[in-house]
């Protein structure tokens, strides 16, 4: 093996192929980049209660209503959305990446691990590897009936709770099936929360949403030209 490498590595370096491969790898998107979900799939609806006062903290926690996730996680969601569209449905996201500073703020307001992950350990949302969402009708964009509203912490909100009207149960199962097919894991106590498998490889982060939004906007806008 070693002898083989000794033979072909210098050969590749000689042709410049290896260095161009390395450059391509760096220039290409990385799986752990933060990406705005709608830039990958504009059909996914974003509606973040934490960007409003209408949440369990009764205050605005996000400066912008923009949803970011690690690129490889957002790519999985794109696949889920495409699958659901074939059945006449779509996704509406309630939360994605959440800066750790917001986790501390939530904990200060509700220091109860039934509601909020302890910020010292962090939430999978702080890693950009978890998402809260529901199903919508693709045409009308109306939410379908689900067991509870968002952030209602009760037995009824448990992912495997089944004492529900048939239609609600079918909607919940449709969402769970679509998500697990593309590498998301169900959270037992919250039907709306899914973790991307492999989440441990993404560290806890505190990049501000406003900052990520600025970067995303810079990528969208064509470079300004100097007309002098």
Angle between helices 71-86 and 166-181 (to 10 degrees): 130
**CB nearer to Zn ion: pick between 23 and 46:** 46
- Minimum distance of Zn ion from residue 208's CB (angstroms): 19
- Minimum distance of Zn ion from residue 212's CB (angstroms): 18
**CB nearer to Zn ion: pick between 121 and 214:** 121
Residues in the interface with Zn ion (CB under 5 A) total 2
How far apart CA 149 and CA 147 sit, in angstroms, is 7
Among positions 119-138, residues that touch Zn ion (CB under 5 A) are 132
C-alpha of 220 from chain center: 20
CB atoms within 10 A of CB 49: 20
**CB nearer to Zn ion: pick between 36 and 132:** 132
How far apart CA 15 and CA 4 sit, in angstroms, is 17
Which of 151, 153, 158 minimizes the C-alpha distance to 172?
Answer: 158
Q: Which contacts of 80-84 are long-range, i.e. CB under 8 A and separated by 24 or more positions?
A: 80/178, 80/179, 80/181, 80/182, 80/184, 81/41, 81/43, 81/44, 82/41, 83/178, 83/181, 83/182, 84/135, 84/138, 84/174, 84/178
Sign of CA dihedral 204, 123, 195, 56: negative
**CB nearer to Zn ion: pick between 34 and 184:** 184
**CB nearer to Zn ion: pick between 100 and 193:** 193
- Minimum distance of Zn ion from residue 94's CB (angstroms): 8
| Residue whose Cβ sits closest to Zn ion | 193
- Minimum distance of Zn ion from residue 197's CB (angstroms): 15
- Minimum distance of Zn ion from residue 9's CB (angstroms): 46
**CB nearer to Zn ion: pick between 84 and 116:** 116
Do residues 101 and 71 make contact, with C-beta atoms less than 8 angstroms apart?
no
- Minimum distance of Zn ion from residue 135's CB (angstroms): 16
Strands (E), 9-164: 34-36, 45-46, 68-70, 89-95, 130-137
Among positions 134-193, residues that touch Zn ion (CB under 5 A) are 193
Among positions 4-23, residues that touch Zn ion (CB under 5 A) are none
User: Residue 98 interacts with Zn ion (CB under 5 A)?
Assistant: no
- Minimum distance of Zn ion from residue 100's CB (angstroms): 14
**CB nearer to Zn ion: pick between 127 and 193:** 193
Chain residues that interact with Zn ion, rule: CB under 5 A? 132, 193
């Amino acid at each position: 093996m070693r002898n083989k490498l000794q033979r072909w590595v210098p050969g590749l370096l000689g042709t410049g192929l290896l260095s161009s491969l390395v450059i391509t790898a760096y220039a290409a998107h990385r799986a752990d980049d933060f990406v705005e979900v709608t830039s990958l799939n504009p059909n996914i609806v974003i509606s973040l209660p934490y960007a409003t006062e209408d949440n369990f903290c009764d205050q605005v926690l996000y400066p912008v209503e923009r949803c970011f996730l690690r690129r490889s996680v957002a790519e999985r969601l794109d696949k889920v959305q495409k699958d659901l569209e074939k059945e006449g449905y779509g996704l509406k996201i309630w939360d994605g990446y959440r800066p750790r500073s917001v986790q501390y703020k939530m904990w200060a307001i509700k220091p109860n691990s039934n509601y909020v992950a302890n910020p010292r350990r962090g939430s999978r949302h702080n890693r950009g590897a978890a998402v809260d969402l529901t199903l919508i009708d693709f045409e009308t964009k109306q939410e379908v009936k689900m067991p509870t509203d968002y952030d209602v912490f009760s037995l009824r909100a448990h992912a495997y709770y089944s004492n529900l009207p048939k239609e609600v149960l079918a909607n919940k199962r449709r969402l769970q099936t679509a998500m697990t097919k593309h590498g998301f894991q169900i959270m037992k106590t919250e039907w709306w929360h899914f973790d991307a498998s492999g989440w441990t490889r993404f560290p806890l982060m505190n990049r501000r949403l406003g900052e990520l939004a600025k970067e995303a906007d810079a990528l969208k806008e064509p470079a300004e030209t100097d007309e002098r």
